[in-house]
Amino acid sequence: MSNSKNYHWRIAGFYFFYYAFVGMFVPYWSLYLKSIRFDAIEISILLSIHPVMRMLAPNIWGWLADHTGKRLLVVQIAATLSALFYLGVFFTTSFWGMFLVLGMMAFFWSASMPLVEATTMSYLGKNTAHYGRIRSWGSIGFIVSVVGLGYIFDYVAITWLLWAGLVSEIGILIFSREIPHIEVLAHHTDHQTIKQIFMQPRVLVLFGACFLMCVAHGPYYTFYSIYLVEHGYAKSAVGGLWALGVICEIGVFFVMPALVRRFGFTHILLISFSAAVLRFLVIGWMVDWLAILLFAQFLHALTFGAYHAASIGLVHEFFKGRHQSKGQALFGSITYGAGGVLGGLASGPIWLHFGASVLYSMSAAAALLGLLLIVWLRHQKIS
């Protein structure tokens, strides 16, 4: 982190607007789609486009960034094209029109974050435990977006959501040009192929567990807002519950250096997966108890905040030198991408035919399977 302290705000600004977009999209886009008469299956398909692109696109962009050595130029091009394609949402309300627009936008939007994650880790150097303090600005952006829009939508039409997304896209575009160039240091694993590193048992187990964690979160990101509204919660309350989880997430980001020193990454993941099992069972069976839902959102500090920081930290330990961008991209593709696709697409039919309680119980089961893999990882005495 000795490169330059002035770089902190540049990277933090990108995180802020990137996750402000997520705070607009994840909680409210399903409500917008429902308002223009899409059914549950169509909504689950359209909301799965993002994770599909997170599965496919980052590997292409990660390879291009590492092959050319122009990581930041790739980020800037992707941010520009993402903003341009996003404009299409103002001109279509048809299923296939929305499918095409969201697909093209997501292809470029999903390119940026793995490359920025790799840049952040390179910037931090040996202080990777401090990653959460920069990443917390993304959580702040998410809160500003989700809380502000939650209150606004109690008074204005949900169609104003489109303009909130455009503001976030412009912010991403501006800060993509502020991120500093950080030199990637050579590492003794540079002679290995990405496949050789990926096929190590510890890497496969970590990716498998994180894939299951993202499967578990698919129904949460797809139907949680609709679920709450159908149980009588106001949109402002929905925004407040989303925000509470992210506030707790910010708190854990700031104490991550101490937690990593005390417990290590894999022990933190063990706690995170255990909390996910409990959280999804609570959401599925106790939605009418506000106090219980508040408790479930407190657990977001563990099921996302601690989980994300620890998993990104381990990926950075496994993929060094010239493999940094590809490693982060591969992780994003398999976990947030493929895992999100499976969790999102499966949630629609399960929601329709079996109901929310069964759906979130299956989320808990996926988290439990991931927990068993993390137990194995813990026994390998990895950091």
pLDDT at 352 over 50: yes
**Rounded Cα distance, 340 and 55, in Å:** 9
pLDDT at 379 over 80: no
Q: For tokens 């959401």, what's the residue? A: 283
Question: What is the average pLDDT across 199-223?
Answer: 91
pLDDT band for position 280 (cuts 50, 70, 90) = very high
Full-model pTM:
0.74
pLDDT band for position 362 (cuts 50, 70, 90) = very high
Highest mean pLDDT among 7-11, 60-64, 252-256: 252-256
pLDDT at 282 over 50: yes
Task: Answer yes or no: CATH 1.20.1250.20 is held by domain 7-379.
Answer: yes
**Rounded Cα distance, 112 and 83, in Å:** 12
* DSSP notation for 315-353: HHHHS-GGGHHHHHHHHHIIIIIIIHHHHHHHHHHHHHH
- The angle formed by the CA atoms of residues 373, 187 and 8, to the nearest 5 degrees, is 80
Short-list 252, 258, 268, CA closest to 210 = 268
Question: What is the average pLDDT across 271-300?
Answer: 93
**Residues whose CB falls within 8 Å of the CB of residue 193, separated by 6 or more in sequence, listed in order:** none
Q: What is the pLDDT of residue 94?
A: 94
**Rounded Cα distance, 212 and 220, in Å:** 14
Question: What is the average pLDDT across 175-190?
Answer: 66
Per-residue pLDDT of 76-129, as tens digits, reads 999 999 999 999 999 999 999 999 999 999 999 887 887 787 777 777 766 666
Provide the mean pLDDT of the chain. Answer: 85
pLDDT band for position 360 (cuts 50, 70, 90) = very high
**Rounded Cα distance, 272 and 371, in Å:** 9
Highest mean pLDDT among 62-66, 68-72, 301-305, 367-371: 367-371
* DSSP notation for 258-269: HHHHHH-HHHHH
Question: Of residues 24 and 71, which shows the higher confidence score?
Answer: 24
**Rounded Cα distance, 83 and 73, in Å:** 16
pLDDT band for position 279 (cuts 50, 70, 90) = very high
**Residues whose CB falls within 8 Å of the CB of residue 21, separated by 6 or more in sequence, listed in order:** 109, 145, 165, 168, 169, 172
Per-residue pLDDT of 315-326, as tens digits, reads 888 887 666 777
pLDDT at 59 over 80: no
Question: Of residues 162 and 329, which shows the higher confidence score?
Answer: 162
Where along the chain do its domains lie? 7-379
**DSSP three-state, residue 39:** coil
Question: What is the average pLDDT across 65-75?
Answer: 78
pLDDT at 361 over 90: yes
Question: Of residues 6 and 75, which shows the higher confidence score?
Answer: 75
Per-residue pLDDT of 6-52, as tens digits, reads 567 788 899 999 999 998 998 789 889 988 988 888 888 898 888 78
**Residues whose CB falls within 8 Å of the CB of residue 144, separated by 6 or more in sequence, listed in order:** 20, 23
What is the identity of the amino acid at 76? Answer: Q
Q: What is the pLDDT of residue 188?
A: 44
